[in-house]
Structure 1
Amino acid sequence: MNAIDHPLVAAYLDSVARETADLPAERRAELLADLREHIEVSEARDDDAIRTVLAELGEPRTVAASALAEEGTSTTAATATAVGAVPAGPLAGRPAARVIAFLPALGGLLILGSPFAGTLVLAIGLALLWRTPLWDARQKRIGTATATAVPVLLLLGGLLLAAGRVGPLELLVIGVFSIGVPLSGALLLTRALRA
């Protein structure tokens, strides 16, 4: 069975269609076509795989609220965005996506000054990164690896320091990588948004 013909997908798309009744017909059709395309590209076949794809897209109400907020047609959608709801779905707002792209890197860098705050921001950033469908799994893995480079480099630096093998050159290399690697990962995620 093709993923788009699956009953779970049909129910999901019907729910999004109901939630977006206030959208102009052309915009609504475009949103549903984008969702269908995303589901088809996933090539999910069994129930679990389809549930995973639908979960990555976000709840129908959240997807609809994001689309309505972009269109400016719903006070409910604007209220949901104002109270901090993160837009989900393939059409999530680009400014929010850029924040999500840089949040894990910022968390990694904050670990240098405040381990608790940095770890908290890193965890939140990675959770948001993996929740949004704006990036594919490969890009999410790269974003995760680059954001967690700072803690790994700090651990490596600590081990080298304990072994007495850290000189000025090694400290410089660790410092450059601690800043450069997370930022390069965030820039990669940002560039992927434009593609």
Structure 2
Amino acid sequence: MNTTDHPLVAEYLDAVARETAELPAERRAELLADLREHIEVSGAGDDQRLREVLAELGEPRTVAASALAEEPQAGGAPEPRAPVLPERPTRARLTVGLLAVAGLLVLLNSFAGGVALIAGLALLWTSPYWDNRHKVIGTATAAGVPLLLLLAAVLLAATRLGPVELLVLMGVSVAVPAFGAITLLRALRR
């Protein structure tokens, strides 16, 4: 059996191919050919040596990340990726903006605030730009204000809110989501 026909190699190369789906087809084929050649030249005869060679190459995700990181620097005009690049900041900014204003909107107009909150959370949780930790922070800071307002409305139903209490609620409605938005923006820049 040829070394590159081995099931371990096929599984490894398939994983790299999946992880590099964003690369142009020509660049992905070149990367996979280079990996096949390296494996073949290694002369790995048994499963143990083959595993060592694959480990030396690195995890498929790491190999793919390196290839993807090199792609924008490759020079020349990118293929169909060019229109996709502006969408990332636009979607991320839209997500952060919706989550940042949702609390204040809930205070001013509960329907508009609810729509902004739901749309922002849907964009946040379907977004590949943040990890789960940042998604939880974004959710807690955006949804915390409406929940706090609901709790305050229930507790203070019998009393009237004075100007000081209203200013405090508005301040919290702006500050807490702003903190979440800043956290998400910082995570996006990393």
SS at structure 1 position matched to 2:130: coil
SS at structure 2 position matched to 1:163: coil
CA contact (8 A) 2:103 2:177 kept: yes
1:112 maps onto 2:107 in alignment: yes
How many residues are treated as equivalent by the alignment? Answer: 146
Structure 1 residues 106 and 167, CA gap change in structure 2 (3 angstroms): closer
SS at structure 1 position matched to 2:96: helix
5+ residue gaps, structure 1: 41-62, 88-92
Structure 1 residues 152 and 39, CA gap change in structure 2 (3 angstroms): farther
Root-mean-square deviation (CA, aligned residues, Å) is 4.1
Residue matched to 1:20: 23
**In the alignment, which of 168, 172, 184 is matched to residue 189 of structure 1?**
184
Structure 1 residues 111 and 165, CA gap change in structure 2 (3 angstroms): closer
Given the two structures, how large is their TM-score scaled by the length of structure 2?
0.57
> Amino acid of the residue matched to residue 134 of structure 1?
Y
**In the alignment, which of 151, 158, 173 is matched to residue 178 of structure 1?**
173
State the identity %: 40
Structure 1 residues 162 and 19, CA gap change in structure 2 (3 angstroms): closer
Residue matched to 1:36: 61
Given the two structures, how large is their TM-score scaled by the length of structure 1?
0.56
Partners of 2:12 and 2:111 lie apart in 1 by 41
Which protein shows a greater Rg?
Answer: 2
1:35-79 Cα offsets, whole Å, 9 max, x none, are 814999xxxxxxxxxxxxxxxxxxxxxx9xxx8xxx64228x73x
Partners of 2:92 and 2:181 lie apart in 1 by 11
